[in-house]
Amino acid sequence: MFPKNRAMTLEAPTDGPCALRVADVFHDQAPFAWRVLRRLGVAEADVDDVCQEVFMTVHRKLAEFEERSSVRTWVYGICVRVAADHRKRARRRREVAAADVREPAIDASQERSAALREACERLDCILDGIDDKKREVFVLYEIEELSMAEVALAVGCPLQTAYSRLHAARREVESMAHRLEKKAGAL
């Protein structure tokens, strides 16, 4: 996950209307930002770097934060923009990342961890196939458990549009999950 000791370099208090410190925002929101970036299509190998970009933006913009939304939804908005920029840059790259080669664990308790890891990989695969606007709403509501009002504010759309995107995303997730199950059963 994201190392906690990185907050040590972000201790300077901000000037301006917001009394928040970057270190506090980092400490409170870094795990959330890491999860969100991963679910917004940032490859696991790149999440730490992209998360660092997010908090560099937070550092630059915190003095301008007007508290019209919660810090979490503000950080989410930054995550969406940084993740979208990263995905655009990644499409232009020509290098192909090799899969991590890991030694298989022998410990019996690893079976549950392996099943959970496989489920997360399937979810990531499914989320990669969903349109960005639907995925954003799905991730915030279903995974991060924000209220729908917070989701609508974070993604910048009317509440009913957020509900519509959520229902469409749920249908797509279910459909893709069934297709993956059928495909796995056929093997």
* 115 and 183 assigned to the same domain: yes
pLDDT confidence band for 60 (50 / 70 / 90): very high
pLDDT of res. 114: 82
* 17 and 88 assigned to the same domain: yes
Q: Is the dihedral of CA 140, 135, 20, 44 positive or negative?
A: positive
Cα–Cα nearest to 51, from 24, 71, 21, 31: 31
Give per-residue pLDDT as tens, 92-103. 555 555 555 555
CA pair distance 153, 177, nearest whole angstrom: 29
Confirm whether 40 is domain-assigned: yes
Q: Is a pLDDT exceeding 60 seen at residue 106?
A: no
pLDDT of res. 70: 87
**Mean pLDDT across the stretch 73-84?**
90
pLDDT of res. 11: 43
pLDDT of res. 105: 52
pLDDT of res. 168: 96
Considering only 42-56, 71-85, 90-104, which range has the smallest mean pLDDT? 90-104
Confirm whether 15 is domain-assigned: yes
Q: How many CB atoms lie within 10 A of CB 12?
A: 11
For 8, 75, 104, 171, the CA distances from 101, given in Å and listed in that order, are 32, 33, 9, 34
Cα–Cα nearest to 51, from 27, 76, 65, 34: 34
**Mean pLDDT across the stretch 19-29?**
86
DSSP state of 7: G
* 67 and 8 assigned to the same domain: yes
Q: Tell me the Cα Rg of the chain.
A: 18
Identify the domain boundary among 101, 122, 142. 101
Give per-residue pLDDT as tens, 27-51. 999 999 999 998 888 888 899 999 9
CA pair distance 171, 175, nearest whole angstrom: 6
Identify the domain boundary among 55, 74, 101. 101
pLDDT confidence band for 162 (50 / 70 / 90): very high
pLDDT of res. 147: 92
Identify the domain boundary among 101, 132, 155. 101
Give the whole-number percent of the chain exceeding pLDDT 90: 35
Indicate the length of the chain as a whole number: 187
* 37 and 81 assigned to the same domain: yes
Confirm whether 47 is domain-assigned: yes
pLDDT of res. 100: 54
Which residues span the domain enclosing 132? 111-187
Number of domains, the chain: 2
* 127 and 179 assigned to the same domain: yes
Q: Is a pLDDT exceeding 70 seen at residue 83?
A: yes
